Amino acid sequence: MYTGLQHLHSYLSYLVLLGLLISFAVALMGWLGNKTFSDKDRKLGLLGLIPVHLQWVIGLILYFVSPLGFKNFSGEAMGDSISRLYILEHPLTMVIAVILITIGYSRAKRQIGNDNRGFKSIAIFYGLGLILILSRIPWNAWLGN
């Protein structure tokens, strides 16, 4: 079970990044192009939101079944940068990113038909979430080092 979840979490990351990049790019173009936020644009925002939430749920389960997660939590592990990344930095940063992305989508969906404020909300909050996600991806595992 652990290995399957670990692989699912790793491969789903690509879908998360792709969905966030598409949502962010569409929102940025709509915001800078001064377009009116529509229901179609709200649905494009879901391309970033849904994979992020799915990834978060799988990551939460993985955190409690993985030997690198909660089971490894100790003062000694905090001294090791790789252990600290898996125990604290990665999960905490991802939770903050998920919260920001959720706030951005929730604010945007109330702006349908008004002006470009929905685009602005998605662009800012998804952009911040994307930066946080990219900052705490365990690149050593992704790049095979």
Domain of residue 87, residue span: 2-142
Q: What is the mean pLDDT of the chain?
A: 89
pTM over 0.85: yes
Domains: count for the chain: 1
Give the tens place of pLDDT for each residue, 7-31: 899 899 999 999 999 999 999 999 9
DSSP output for the chain? -HHHHHHHHHHHHHHHHHHHHHHHHHHHHHHHTTPPP-HHHHHHHHHHHHHHHHHHHHHHHHHHHSTTTGGG-SHHHHTSHHHHIIIIIHHHHHHHHHHHHHHHHHHHHTTTTT-SHHHHHHHHHHHHHHHHHHHTS-HHHHTT-
Give the tens place of pLDDT for each residue, 59-93: 999 988 887 776 677 667 778 788 888 888 999 99
